[in-house]
């Protein structure tokens, strides 16, 4: 009986300890969810990989300098449910991207949607 109780306690403790990183990974607390920004840019790379796809893009500032940005996207599985494929974005594509910037002011954002140069809108999440 004591062995079974020990095994059960050890299993329960390991599950509880492992749950923290999983929950933290899916937290959106690093983004300013109260404000959205809209940025015109040029795609430099699109990574269709788990756990989250990413769009890398350049934004040209008024003074002519270029800022490198990253948009964190949902998983490829979730994106495919709203019409994306691994070939949806290619380097050189002109886009307008809408999302929530990281609270620390870095050039990272949580993707909400992208508008392609032809006007097609691609949502990051099912609406």
Given this model, what pLDDT does residue 127 score?
57
Which secondary structure element, helix H or strand E, spans residue 80, and what is its range?
helix 76-81
Q: 78: domain range?
A: 37-123
- Within a domain: 4: no
pLDDT, tens digit (0-9, with 9 covering 90-100), for 52-109: 999 999 999 999 999 999 999 999 999 999 999 999 999 999 999 999 999 999 999 9
- Within a domain: 30: no
Say which CATH number the domain at 50 has. Answer: 2.40.50.1010
Please report where in the chains the tokens 């020990």 appear, as a residue: 6
DSSP string over 14-37:
HHHHHHHHHHHHT--TTB-TT--E
- Within a domain: 18: no
- Within a domain: 54: yes
More confident residue, 65 or 124: 65
- Within a domain: 9: no
What is the number of structural domains in the chain?
1
């Amino acid at each position: 009986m004591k062995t079974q109780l020990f095994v059960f306690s050890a299993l329960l403790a390991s599950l509880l300890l492992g749950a923290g990183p999983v929950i933290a990974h899916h937290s959106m607390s690093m983004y300013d969810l109260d404000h959205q920004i809209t940025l015109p840019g040029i795609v430099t790379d699109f990574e269709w990989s788990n756990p989250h796809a990413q769009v890398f893009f350049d934004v040209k500032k008024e003074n002519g300098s270029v800022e490198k940005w990253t948009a964190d996207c949902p998983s490829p599985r979730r994106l495919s449910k709203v019409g994306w494929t691994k070939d949806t974005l290619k380097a050189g594509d002109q886009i307008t991207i809408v999302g929530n910037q990281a609270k620390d002011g870095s050039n990272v954002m949580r993707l909400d949607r992208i508008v392609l140069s032809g006007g097609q809108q691609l949502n990051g999440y099912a609406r």
